[in-house]
Structures are given as C-alpha cells and as structure tokens.
Amino acid sequence: FRFVPEAYRDFFEAVLPYLHARTTDVHVATCLPFVKELVAASGEVVDETAITVAFILHDSGWSQMSEDEIAHSLGVTGLALSGAAVDPKARHAALGKEIAERVLASVRRQPPLTESQTDLIYKAILYHDKPWELAAQGGLPASVKLVCDVDHLWSFTHENFWQDTARKSVAPDSYLKNLENDLDGYFVTEQGKRKARSLIDERRVEVEEWDSLSGSIP
C-alpha cells in the first residue's frame, strides 16, 4: 500500500480481491509510481485520473481465469507473445473490462468520473496489450498509451525480472538480452522507452553481481 497514492488507496483496496492472480497485486502496486513519472514527462495532454484508475483495473480479468490459462500466458522468454499466450491475454482484457464496469458502477469516486474518463478506462483495459489495434481503428489516445507503457515497465522492474528468470526458466543474462532486444517495439511512448532503458541499466548491475556470485560458488 505504500506504493499506492493516498487518493487511490480506497479504490485500490476495493479492486484488490480481483488482483491476487498472477502476482497482479504486486504488479499494480509496484508500477503505480510510474504513472506520475510518465505523465510528467509526457508532451501530450493526458488524464492522470483515468490512467491511474485504468491501471489499477487493467489486469483484474486474470482473477476469472484458470491456472492453465495463466500458465500459458507466461510461456514467453522475452516480450513477444507466443501463440499459446495470445488467447489468454485477449480473454483477460475482455474479462477485465467487464469487472471494471461492475466496479465503477459500485465504487463511487469524488469527483465522479465523467463519461469521457470511463470510455478512456475501458479502452485502456481492452487494448493495453495490443494498442496497435486501437490505433488502427482511428487513433490511440495519449492516456491509453501511458497505461500501456506503465504496464510494460513491469517486465523491467527488479521484482518481475528476477521472478521471471525463475518461472520462465531463463538465465538472467539471457533474459536481460531478450528484454533489450524487444524494448523498442514494446513501448508506444518515448518516455516509456527512456524509463525502460534506465531500468535495464539497473538490472544489468544486478545481473553482473549475480554472475560474479554464481561464479564464486564451488
């Protein structure tokens, strides 16, 4: 909860029952501080409230899915989705929008969300893993772009990087290279790419230390 801005703690707690699958609770809390950072670096007009609410809700759909579906969604060694991961990713987004509709109808915020804000939130949830599809429909709102990039920064955090090396059975130095290779195509904003590169630099220091310690074990 210390990572969650005070103005959103009650809302986060209301959504928390939907965030326990796939370490989503840790994912959302860890990445929430990136919202303000990327908003401040944005050269476009964005809605920080809509971005924050959408991000808290974006992965809630995993709570309605089976362990097999969740396992298939993790079957990648970098950032590009495998064939088996595509369907679970699409399904969790659709289920997440349904949960968001129920939550936003029952949890009232002050001031209330506008119709424009709820529309942004639903779009961000549906398209956070495939923003190019929304862009092809006539435009990708700047606020939706930031939800996508805040979400994608999770792969580069200390918490997720080391968790993924274990659950995906990838050596740390190989996983770091995979993230570097896929980075440019994974983000939709320049500030997202810059932040990801700074996180890569942090992970590189950790991997070098890991390699040094591993080499010293007889």
> What pLDDT sits at residue 108?
82
Contacts of residue 27, Cβ cutoff 8 Å, sequence gap at least 6: 59, 154, 160
> In degrees to the nearest 10, what's the CA dihedral of 111, 115, 120, 121?
60
Q: Provide, rounded to the nearest whole percent, the portion of the chain with pLDDT above 70.
A: 91
Contact at 8 Å (CB) between 31 and 154?
A: yes
Alpha carbons 217 and 161: distance in angstroms, whole number: 22
Confidence bin at 78 (pLDDT 50/70/90): very low
> What pLDDT sits at residue 71?
75
For 79-116, the pLDDT digits (tens) are: 554 455 667 888 899 999 999 999 999 998 888 999 99
For 160-212, the pLDDT digits (tens) are: 999 989 888 899 999 999 999 999 999 999 999 999 999 999 999 999 999 88
Of 55, 87, 72, residue with least CA distance to 153: 55
